[in-house]
Chain A
């Protein structure tokens, strides 16, 4: 219990305190994206389901802090093409980026990121195991690199961000545990899992090029990729996605 309390403090309060200190002017950005998704969750099926991924990202960038909310929906199909699965989720992250390197136009910031995720994968065919709930609270290692350059008379900025889940807590049913046992009978069985890089080897990355417009506005075009994997309680999960994203400055 003590360990969990310490983890909650680390994951929740420390980043929040850091956020409170960051009163600088902010930049808000809105991205929409679409691409390819490959999702496997062995609680539902031993095989990957593939399909389209649509996502919406809202981001607010302060001088040292970045708040990001991501919503995604993926209709997926099994390899035989006869069953659908639906993956949807909401992620909210607060990153604290501290200057690591600045050489002319090149700038690298890095720091911790508090990351919460709530989602669900629903399989339309399964009976007593129809869905897999996803809930996690993670502390990620986050980095942001930017490079300003000029092409002709235009100013551009290239931005690369990388988030690697480090430690945290995640929900998972046990290998063959039913939701009836958990939520009707209240029989829990290691359903709160300590997540670390060896059972959550994952990353999220993004490469965005920023087209600065004359009227102080900006257009963004880029790639967003997620390689999220877990091995909890004997159940394996992966969610790979590669999306093209477009955004505007709000």
Chain B
């Protein structure tokens, strides 16, 4: 009996020792150093583009840590700490990397803020006129030369398959189609995929996707092929021009990646803004949210598109056109589609 009880106590003791081991791995101190160290370590373990950013920008993440730690002082204010932390993560030049506090959003949007916008909302709206249709996030009309024009400013909410099928059916008599996604900062990849799937009749390899499997900078899963499947609804068969600018980011960048693989599609305008890492969210001890790229998406040639996709036809907004309330990019797209129609 006594032996039995001793054995039982040993077993329970061993179990309690075994269960006391899964705890926080990051610094927990809500101090300037604790927060900066936690932010650095979180990114170090989970961010997916370190090697690429080192090759392209020369970012040495260990050196960054040493440099920014020197900027800390125990008496610094919350705003000063926020500024230092934001400057540290801005080194990565990634629009998906953000530090979120209730008073500000830390970001690096230089990918479009330092570049020409190539888009004037009032001018683009004049092409839609007053009688344009609205189907979820799509606004559409038929231009004078029988070219269909779809404006898709976001992939946040839609479009769904039904919306796209109906719009394409209405625009079916047009000779060509312009999809204007300038200023589209992204949203849901599913919505981007939905739209692209209406422009192919067959399953097409559009890229590869992979994720981190551990804390090392090179701990990645194998690349898995990403295919675009044809939509079940209406599918567009005529030439398409996708108009892009530097503000096309994230899911919009992914849409361009997919459309770039299709034979009837021409990309026109400026290079996209990039943002090929799917962002995850975590946090640091003071409660600020940390958003970072976690899942890598590359193109069909396994090349990074984190810094954007070059257009087939590079066109910038002409200031003389702007004065005349003409959108150079839309006009060039119309010319291209009309030339294609006439076989030039």
What is the interface of chain A, defined by CB distance below 8 A to chain B?
40, 42, 44-48, 78-83, 101, 103, 123, 125-129, 162, 164, 174-178, 180-181, 184-185, 187, 189, 197, 201-203, 227, 229-231, 233-234, 236-238
Contact = CB atoms under 8 A, between A and B. Distances in A.
B66 interface: no
A217 B23 CA distance: 43
B213 A126 contact: no
A146 B59 CA distance: 64
Interface string B161-190: 000000000000000000000000000011
B211 A46 contact: no
Contacts, number: 132
Given A174-B213, A176-B48, A202-B19, A80 B30 contact: yes
Interface of B: 1, 4, 12, 15-16, 18-19, 21-26, 28, 30, 38, 42, 46, 48, 102, 189-190, 209, 211-215, 219, 221, 224, 226, 278-283, 285-287, 289, 291, 294-295
B25 A46 contact: yes
A128 B24 contact: no
B302 to A, nearest CB: 16
Interface SS, B side = mixed
A176 B279 CA distance: 10
Contacts of B285: 47, 79-80
A177 B1 CA distance: 51
A89 B138 CA distance: 40
A129 to B, nearest CB: 5
Contacts of A128: 278-281, 294-295
A178 B19 contact: no
Residue picked from A46, A126, A237, most chain B C-beta under 10 Å? A46
B283 A46 contact: yes
B328 to A, nearest CB: 35
Contacts of B4: 101
A230 B224 contact: no
A127 B18 CA distance: 34
A129 B280 contact: yes
B88 to A, nearest CB: 17
A126 B281 CA distance: 5
22 contacts: A40-B22, A44-B282, A46-B24, A48-B24, A83-B287, A126-B280, A127-B281, A128-B280, A129-B281, A174-B213, A175-B212, A175-B214, A176-B46, A176-B211, A180-B190, A184-B190, A185-B226, A189-B213, A202-B19, A203-B19, A227-B19, A236-B22
A187 B209 contact: yes
Nearest to B215: A234
Contacts of A230: 22
B7 to A, nearest CB: 11
